[in-house]
């Protein structure tokens, strides 16, 4: 069978999205799901070529048969080469929605598509440093193809009476308008962290920029609208000193609604963490969400979270951050590259 990787036609894209709606949109009608995908394809991050849809097809049939599909989002990344503390800005790709139709499974189509895609993305939109994905099928499949798993811990704090401390006026709510300047500060601090000492191994990080956060907010605001909720306007909390803040997004899925902390910025003290997590728990309770979750928490965050009834879990099967480095001399495993700011904001 001849297999070709290309961009799907508009009709094929509807076919592809309709097929995977049963996996990633079970709480939505087909129309709602297709509309959501259009919304997420037209944000400041994904619009104007930021997102690319891909399809592996058999072009010898008429019409062409879609064998597997996925999408990629172009993102800015920082890279520090081993043996230096010099950082450069490059770009990478986040891969998502990897899908094989039921009738096409067990034939190696997804593996072939991803091998082709890895080569395509090296130069898609310019030279790329890496690609990353978040596996929902464990660690082995994508590792074999060259995307190596990295830290997949998360802190999960249930919203319960024991996890709801009294809130003092020690934080200020963040709205969308506050984020661009805070992101600039955060990125400056992240650069300093990446270059503070010579790197023993390559260091990488995705940019925690406002357009990335906007993509997450668009998902939450769309789900709020179709479930007859007002759109969330509070996007996080900042300490009164302004030295630390968190950015969050609301996940309104019925099965396990949660408040995702996308980014913990600054160097919060333990008291700062208490105040910020208290604000997050209050937000989750206000919206009827079941828990607050943050990925790969720093020590102080994990400690306070446990005091609030939370626990740190290592994910083995779903949302596993995995990376493939494209540049010669750079490995991709945990032992070969350090992934800084490996937090929920980079997920796609």
CATH of the domain at 200: 3.40.630
Please state, in angstroms and rounded to a whole number, the distance separating the CA atoms of residues 20 and 37: 11
Segment holding 21, helix H or strand E = helix 10-24
The whole domain housing 229 covers 154-314
Nearest-5° Cα angle at 296, 290 to 302: 70
On whether the CB atoms of residues 210 and 179 are closer than 8 A, the answer is yes
Band the pLDDT of 245: cuts 50, 70, 90: very high
Asked whether residue 29 falls in the same domain as residue 94, the answer is yes
The stretch 249-268 carries a mean pLDDT of 93
The stretch 151-173 carries a mean pLDDT of 83
Percent of the chain with pLDDT strictly greater than 70: 97
The stretch 35-62 carries a mean pLDDT of 97
pLDDT reported for residue 233: 97
CB neighbours of 321 closer than 8 A, spacing ≥ 6?
132, 134, 149, 150, 151, 152, 339, 342, 346, 347
Asked whether residue 185 falls in the same domain as residue 141, the answer is no
Residue 115 φ/ψ region, left for φ over 0, alpha for ψ in the -120 to 50 degree band, beta for the rest: alpha
Asked whether residue 305 falls in the same domain as residue 342, the answer is no
Asked whether residue 145 falls in the same domain as residue 269, the answer is no
Band the pLDDT of 327: cuts 50, 70, 90: confident
Q: Pick 2 or 344 by higher pLDDT.
A: 344
Asked whether residue 285 falls in the same domain as residue 310, the answer is yes
Asked whether residue 134 falls in the same domain as residue 188, the answer is no
Tokens representing 319? Answer: 């949302």
Q: What is the mean pLDDT of the chain?
A: 95
Residue 164 has pLDDT above 70, yes or no: no
The stretch 164-172 carries a mean pLDDT of 73
Residue 268 has pLDDT above 90, yes or no: yes
Q: 212 — phi, psi (to 5°)? A: -65, -45
pTM of the model as a whole: 0.95
Asked whether residue 143 falls in the same domain as residue 168, the answer is no
Helices vs strands, H then E, count in the chain: 8, 16
Residue 341 has pLDDT above 90, yes or no: yes
The stretch 5-28 carries a mean pLDDT of 97
On whether the CB atoms of residues 317 and 182 are closer than 8 A, the answer is no
- Total count of domains within the chain: 2
Asked whether residue 280 falls in the same domain as residue 340, the answer is no
Q: Pick 17 or 2 by higher pLDDT.
A: 17
Residue 219 φ/ψ region, left for φ over 0, alpha for ψ in the -120 to 50 degree band, beta for the rest: alpha
Q: Which of 129-133, 155-159, 165-169, 215-219 has the lowest mean pLDDT?
A: 165-169
Residue 19 has pLDDT above 80, yes or no: yes
pLDDT reported for residue 160: 83
Asked whether residue 278 falls in the same domain as residue 298, the answer is yes
Asked whether residue 46 falls in the same domain as residue 113, the answer is yes
* Nearest CA-CA partner of 78 in 340, 331, 320, 343: 340
Q: 107 — phi, psi (to 5°)? A: -120, 5
pLDDT digits (tens, 9 = 90+) for 177-202: 999 999 999 999 999 999 999 999 99
Band the pLDDT of 1: cuts 50, 70, 90: confident
Whole-number Cα distances in Å, 159 to 175, 261, 307: 23, 14, 13
On whether the CB atoms of residues 266 and 244 are closer than 8 A, the answer is yes
Please state, in angstroms and rounded to a whole number, the distance separating the CA atoms of residues 248 and 263: 7
Band the pLDDT of 12: cuts 50, 70, 90: very high
CATH of the domain at 38: 3.40.630.30
- Mapping DSSP to helix (H, G, I), strand (E, B) and coil, where does residue 65 land? strand
Asked whether residue 85 falls in the same domain as residue 166, the answer is no
Please name the residue that has the structure tokens 């895609």: 117
The stretch 109-126 carries a mean pLDDT of 97
Band the pLDDT of 286: cuts 50, 70, 90: very high
Asked whether residue 220 falls in the same domain as residue 274, the answer is yes
């Amino acid at each position: 069978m001849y297999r070709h990787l290309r961009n799907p036609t508009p009709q094929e894209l509807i076919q592809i999205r309709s097929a995977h709606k049963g996996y990633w949109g079970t709480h939505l009608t087909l129309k709602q799901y297709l509309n959501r995908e259009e919304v997420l394809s037209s944000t400041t991050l994904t619009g104007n070529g930021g997102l690319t849809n891909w399809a592996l097809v058999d072009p010898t049939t008429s019409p062409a048969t879609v064998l597997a599909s996925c999408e990629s989002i172009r993102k800015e990344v920082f890279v520090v080469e081993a043996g230096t503390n010099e950082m450069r800005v490059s770009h990478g790709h986040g891969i998502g929605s990897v899908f094989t139709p039921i009738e096409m499974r067990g034939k190696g189509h997804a593996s072939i598509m991803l091998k082709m895609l890895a080569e395509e993305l090296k130069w898609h939109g310019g030279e790329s440093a890496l690609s990353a994905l978040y596996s929902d099928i464990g660690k082995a499949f994508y590792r074999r193809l060259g995307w190596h798993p990295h830290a997949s811990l998360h802190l999960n704090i249930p919203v319960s009476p024991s996890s709801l401390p009294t809130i003092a006026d020690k934080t200020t709510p963040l709205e969308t308008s506050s984020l661009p300047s805070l992101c600039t500060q955060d990125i400056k601090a992240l650069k300093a962290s990446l270059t503070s000492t010579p790197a023993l191994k390559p260091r990488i990080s995705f940019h925690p920029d406002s357009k990335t956060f906007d993509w997450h907010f668009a998902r939450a605001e769309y789900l709020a609208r179709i479930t007859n909720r007002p759109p969330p306007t509070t996007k996080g909390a900042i300490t009164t000193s302004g030295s630390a803040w968190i950015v969050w997004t609301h996940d309104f899925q019925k099965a396990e609604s949660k408040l995702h902390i996308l980014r913990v910025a600054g160097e919060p003290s333990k008291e700062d963490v208490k105040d910020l997590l208290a604000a997050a728990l209050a937000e989750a309770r206000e919206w009827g969400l079941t828990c607050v979750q943050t990925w790969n928490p720093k020590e102080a965050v994990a400690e306070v979270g446990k005091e609030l009834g939370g626990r740190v879990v290592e994910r083995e099967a779903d949302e596993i951050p995995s990376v493939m480095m494209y540049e010669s001399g750079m490995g991709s495993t945990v032992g070969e590259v350090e992934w800084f700011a490996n937090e929920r904001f980079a997920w796609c």
